[in-house]
Amino acid sequence: MKKTLVSALTTALVVGAASTTFAAANPFADVPADHWAYDAVAQLVQDGVVNGYSVDGTFKGDQSMSRYEMAQIVA
- Percentage of the chain beyond pLDDT 70 is 68
In which domain, by residue range, is 17 found?
2-74
- Percentage of the chain beyond pLDDT 90 is 44
On whether the CB atoms of residues 59 and 27 are closer than 8 A, the answer is: yes
User: For the chain, what is the total number of helices (H) and then of strands (E)?
Assistant: 3, 0
What is the model's pLDDT at position 1? 52
- The domain tally of the chain equals 1
- Per DSSP, 26 falls in state -
For residue 11, is it left (φ>0), alpha (ψ between -120 and 50) or beta? Answer: alpha
